[in-house]
Amino acid sequence: MEQQGSSTSAGRGKAEKEFVKEITPQSVDYSQWYIDVVLKTELMDYAPVKGCMAIRPYGYAIWEKIQQLLDRRIKDTGHQNAYFPMFIPQELLQKEAAHVEGFAPEVALVTKGGGETLAEPLVVRPTSEAIICDFYSRWIQSWRDLPMLINQWCNVVRWEKVTRPFLRTSEFLWQEGHTCHRTEEEAEKEALLMLGVYKEFLETEMAIPVIAGRKTEREKFAGALRTYTVEALMRDGRALQAGTSHNLGQHFARVFDITFLDQDGTLKYVWQTSWGVSTRLIGALIMVHGDDRGLVLPPRIAPIQVVIVPIISKKAREEVLAAARRVAETLQQAGIRLKLDDREEYSPGWKFNEWEMKGVPLRLELGPRDLEAEQVIAVRRDSGAKEPLPWAELPRRLPQLLEELQGDLYKRALQFQQEHTRSGADYGEFLQVMERERGFFIASWCGREECELKAKEESKATIRCIPFDREMEHENCLVCGEKAAHVVYFARAY
């Protein structure tokens, strides 16, 4: 294969330079690297309205895979999909003071419709608790109507001041679950169940390791009894809230009068939860796995798992293309998502770089010498490792190779997380780590908001969560030195 590869080396070298120069290295400017990647790989494009974006077909294909894999899990836990209006009467949002306080700065209002001023402004949903609670107050009458387990896939509008594609936009796509239960115990079990679904999905399908835990009172969702979260670490050392699940208690039920007649004949308020993830998961995917050449997509979430690139000579053109088509047909029958790149206007080297940039997990090269040997050369996107594979072995070996790659991406991300997680009781050390290296910093905390705020002001880091499965290593609070009540994860975050 050395000779065959060298025939395209000049063209490939030029192509590499042309591709790479358009992506800023992570070490030079991580934020610019991110923007370069989302634009160059055609995941999105900017819209005329500030903070909005068009999700292009390749980006939307990733979102569709997320939807498909997560929706199956949501339905497997007994939930049903529905759809609720995006316009919410302002009076519904104002019914719940904490809800308004939490979202008022981000709310978009519709004041005119059909050329006329509306009698009452309509809120474009920032989240759907208010409108869904209004429906639930009518739909729920008896204990027989519970639990009510409903999820919706929709768009949301929050008028953000500072935006970044996928991570924080004025309009984004998400799923939001809203459930009602007879008891507090059932609601708590539901909130933790769905957080577990998110954690398993992120780690299994997206190869993103996360820390699960509870938010502090200051960081919890407005109106919630408790908020649970899964936190991921990006390759620039910043944390990203990847998903949240809220035990809403009876707060919304009391405001919106969601009651049911229980088996004992008494009228009671329901206990509620809500939970959601959004298109910011695409941002997480980019920043956890991407490198200086662009995207690196885990096979389970990749729209294209394998790209076949024929390396064509004038003499063997038809034979190579015919073989490539046979290989493609065999792999499609094996259930592999693939692309046969038989474009003649681009050189093999150009195609190599394009598909590497787009993060396709495996590339199969097939040239005249491979035709003679009845094989392809498989090239991994993550490591660049090459492996010759006989055609007959492809239906068996490629699924194995894709699973190996999936597992290796998770291990690499987990190793990065572990190497960038520190713990300590020295406040000065904490400030230095947050300024110079970032990452997670595990510390003890007294539980007082004053210490939480002081750490945030001086380090620009927030308490990401109070983890479920971490024992306290230090008896005293990192900030004030008094007796600690919790172990927490600090980090600067998106």
For position 101, what pLDDT does the model report? 72
- 6, pLDDT greater than 70: no
Rounded Cα gap, residues 170 and 178, in angstroms: 22
Q: What average pLDDT does this structure show over 254-264?
A: 97
Give tens-digit pLDDT for 337-349.
Answer: 999 999 999 999 9
pLDDT bucket at 449, cuts 50 / 70 / 90: very high
- Going along the chain from its start, the domains and CATH numbers come out as 44-289 (3.30.930.10), 304-399 (3.40.50.800), 421-491 (3.30.110.30)
CA–CA separation, 484 and 474 (whole Å): 8
Quick one: which of 244, 168, 176, 247 has its CA closest to 210?
A: 244
Q: How confident is the model at residue 18 (pLDDT cuts 50, 70, 90)?
A: low
CA-wise closest residue to 243 among 12, 485, 73, 445: 73
Q: What is the mean pLDDT of residues 111-125?
A: 95
Mean pLDDT computed over 255-276: 98
Contact status, residue 206 vs residue 285, Cβ threshold 8 Å? yes
CB 226 within 8 A of CB 214: yes
More confident residue, 95 or 494: 494
Q: Write b or e for each residue in 155-185: b if 16 or more Cβ atoms lie within 10 A of its Cβ, otherwise e.
A: ebbbbbeebbbbbbbbbbbbbbbbbbbbeee
Percent of the chain scoring above 90 in pLDDT: 89
Count CB neighbours of 95 within 10 A.
Answer: 17
Q: Is 119 exposed, middle or buried (CB count within 10 Å of its CB: 0-12, 13-18, 19+)?
A: exposed
The whole-model pTM stands at 0.93
Please determine, for residue 241, whether its predicted confidence score (pLDDT) is greater than 70: yes
Q: What is the mean pLDDT of residues 162-190?
A: 97
Question: Length of the chain, please?
Answer: 494
Q: What backbone phi and psi angles, to 5 degrees, belong to 158?
A: -135, 120
Higher-pLDDT residue of 16, 371: 371
3-state secondary structure of 182: coil
CA–CA separation, 232 and 241 (whole Å): 6
The burial class, CB within 10 Å (0-12 / 13-18 / 19+), for 309 is: buried
157 near 124, Cβ under 8 Å? Answer: yes
Confidence at residue 105, expressed as pLDDT on a 0 to 100 scale: 73
**Angstrom distance (rounded) from CA 325 to CA 303:** 19
Residue among 73, 37, 21, 60 at smallest CA distance from 288? 37
Across the range 61-73, mean pLDDT stands at 98
Q: Can you tell me which residue has the tokens 């059909």? A: 114
For residues 80, 86, 89, 90, the Cα torsion angle rounded to the nearest 10 degrees is: 110
Q: What is the pLDDT of residue 10?
A: 40
Mean pLDDT of 42-67: 97
The whole-angstrom separation of Cα 72 and Cα 323 is 36
**Does residue 39 register a pLDDT over 90?**
yes
> How many CA atoms lie within 13 Å of 332's alpha carbon, on the beta-carbon side?
10
**pLDDT tens string 73-92:** 999 999 999 999 999 999 99
Task: Compute the distance between CA of residue 402 and CA of residue 107 in angstroms, rounded to an integer.
Answer: 43
